[in-house]
Structure 1
């Protein structure tokens, strides 16, 4: 059974690109446009990994990650990988404090995205 990934990204271009890349890797992809939709989606589905943009409307990625980490059950431990065009505005400590495991800078690089995602899903980092 293939692994399920939730992509949270408000840019439809980046969302579609990410979905195409990860579908080629045989992952099941669901996508939403903001952190509020992530929380709503997690109430009815489970995922093996969340790829989350940091800057989204309604609820940004940092706040959403904090809310996920406060949930009960296995979902509180799901790996969260941030996707951001403003990586220089954050330190890894900022991401870790919010409960984010890793980040991938924008613009997305095919090999980097696949390597990081595969590493988390294959090795359970």
Structure 2
């Protein structure tokens, strides 16, 4: 199997099981492989544990996740020593984008963001744009 025909892997960092399962279903229908992190403490651990077997190709990051919020997680990703992690596209998902400025998103290293409630067509479009 050519490497290009491998499904792309998306890490979804989201603590809402409803959003998580919907997002997962939609992306799996689009033939993406899904890795989950239910809180900010799991994000880097998941990214690192996947590196040798199935490196993650992009991250969907809920901003309001427990332990570490999405902005902190994104900063951790950006400062990671391995470019396979530090250069990942990170798409923020937030129900209160108004509480944050685009400037804060940029400073954290967020690639793009999607507002909640999620528009699933936009989700697929953005994931394709950054991950392929």
Q: Which of the five TM-score ranges fits, normalised by the shorter chain? A: over 0.9
Aligned residue runs from structure 1 range 73-112, under 5 A: 73=82, 74-112=84-122
Query: Which residue among 26, 29, 36 is the counterpart of 1:24?
Result: 29
C-alpha RMSD over aligned residues: 0.8
- Number of equivalent positions: 122
Q: Normalising by structure 2, what TM-score?
A: 0.90
The 1-side partners of 2:36 and 2:11 are apart by: 6
Q: CA deviation at 1:61?
A: 0.3
Regions of 4+ moved over 2 Å: none
For structure 2, which runs of at least 5 residues remain unmatched after alignment?
A: 1-5
Q: From the CA coordinates, give the structure whose radius of gyration is larger.
A: 2
**1:91-116 CA deviation, whole Å, 9 max, x = no partner?**
21110100110000000111110111
> After superposition, where does 1:27-66 map in structure 2 within 5 Å?
27-45=32-50, 46-66=55-75
